[in-house]
Amino acid sequence: MAFADDLAQRRGLDADWVRQQLGAAQRLPGVIRLMTPAPSGAYKNWAAYRARFIEPVRVRAGQRFWEANREALARAELEYGVPASLIVGVIGVESIYGQHTGNFRVIDALATLAFDFPAVHPRAEARTEFFRSELEQFLSLTQRTGMDPLAARGSYAGAMGWPQFMPSSWTKFAVDFDGDSKVDLFNSPADAIGSVANYFKAYGWQAGQPTHYPVAFDATRLDKDGLLAPDILPTFGVESFTAKGAVLEGPALQHPGKLALIELQNGDPANGGAPATYLAGTDNFYVVTRYNWSSYYALAVIELGQAIEALVNR
């Protein structure tokens, strides 16, 4: 209630209304479990992760979505410079084109994570502050738009609608792309399309730049630790990248920007897992990770969109 009163004062909201909404929020133990991190040292598996998203049901749904929304996708690509394939890939991974937008009451999820975020998380303090801010954004958004804060449903993290926007992203990046004078990410595919494109443009998407290139290694001069040290942040020019033993071919050798070595684990090699997958990520690959801070997510979105585009253009 102290949080409610402070929020109401800073946002110019009715204090009784804010107290009423927060007072109706329920603590969800399942959300706390879902947000608790896996044990450290656990191997990820790109092949298994990819198979969850690049699969026939989602690809066919994406084909139908693309064909039904050609005009909006073409307009978004023209207006924002973001490829239709990337927009379609994101909405497909996030909600299977509106089929799965989440069944958690958003206010319950956000309040649970704002006040009972799992303490075992290595970034528990920062994440608590993040979710308190998102809870504040959510209540402000619902009050401003007339959305019922006790009816809105989303993911266990409080993400909403076809593109699974957090409340702050809805406020900053959501656009009325169907021209009906309101933003509706729950029911308007066009608004979802335009909002995803606007999100990527705001984070620095560069039209025409690839997201990644194939990469191999020259074992005689490979400094893999040095290449991986900046993580997924593009840091190396082509010359410094190849000087550390990365091998590029074709257009990648003329890439004008920075590159990052992206490593995707395929399980534990010591226990039957396959070798890791590597690629050279560009600034645009990094932009995709701003939607979800995971290189596995980014490549799944990219490859789902490409698979659907191939079907559409047959």
Task: Look at residue 23 in the predicted model and tell me its pLDDT.
Answer: 96
Task: Look at residue 42 in the predicted model and tell me its pLDDT.
Answer: 78
Choosing from 71, 79, 94, 303, which is the catalytic residue?
94
Q: Angle at CA 155, nearest 5°, toward 152 and 158?
A: 65
Task: Spell out the residues 6+ positions from residue 33 whose beta carbon is closer than 8 angstroms to its own.
Answer: none
DSSP the chain: -HHHHHHHHHHT--HHHHHHHHHT----HHHHHHHSPPPTTPPPBHHHHHHHHSSHHHHHHHHHHHHHTHHHHHHHHHHH---HHHHHHHHHHHHTTTT----EEHHHHHHHHHH---TTSTTHHHHHHHHHHHHHHHHHHHHHHT--TTT-EE-TT--BTTTTB-HHHHHHH----SSSSS--TTT-HHHHHHHHHHHHHHTT--TT--SEEE-EE-TTS--HHHHHTTTTS--B-HHHHHHTTEE--GGGGG--S-BEEEEEEES-GGGTPEEEEEEEE-HHHHHHHTTSS-HHHHHHHHHHHHHHHHHHT-
Task: Look at residue 186 in the predicted model and tell me its pLDDT.
Answer: 97
Cα–Cα distance measured from residue 29 to residue 47, given in angstroms and rounded to the nearest whole number: 31
Q: Are 30 and 102 in contact (CB under 8 A)?
A: no
pLDDT per residue as tens digits for the range 232-291: 999 999 999 999 999 999 999 999 999 999 999 999 888 888 999 999 999 999 999 999
Q: Is 94 designated active site?
A: yes
Cα–Cα distance measured from residue 131 to residue 109, given in angstroms and rounded to the nearest whole number: 9
Handedness of CA 238, 239, 243, 248 (dihedral sign): positive
pLDDT per residue as tens digits for the range 102-151: 999 999 999 999 999 999 888 999 999 999 999 999 999 999 999 999 99
Cα pseudo-dihedral 49, 36, 2, 20, rounded to 10: 60
Task: Look at residue 300 in the predicted model and tell me its pLDDT.
Answer: 98
Burial of 313 (0-12, 13-18, 19+ CB in 10 A): exposed
How much of the chain, in percent, has pLDDT values that exceed 90?
Answer: 94
Q: Show the tokens assigned to 272.
A: 């039957």
* Domain boundaries defined on the chain: 212-281
Cross-strand pairs, 214? 279
Task: Look at residue 218 in the predicted model and tell me its pLDDT.
Answer: 97
Cα–Cα distance measured from residue 294 to residue 145, given in angstroms and rounded to the nearest whole number: 32
Lowest mean pLDDT among 36-45, 49-58, 134-143, 206-215: 36-45
> What is the mean predicted confidence (pLDDT) over 160-165?
98
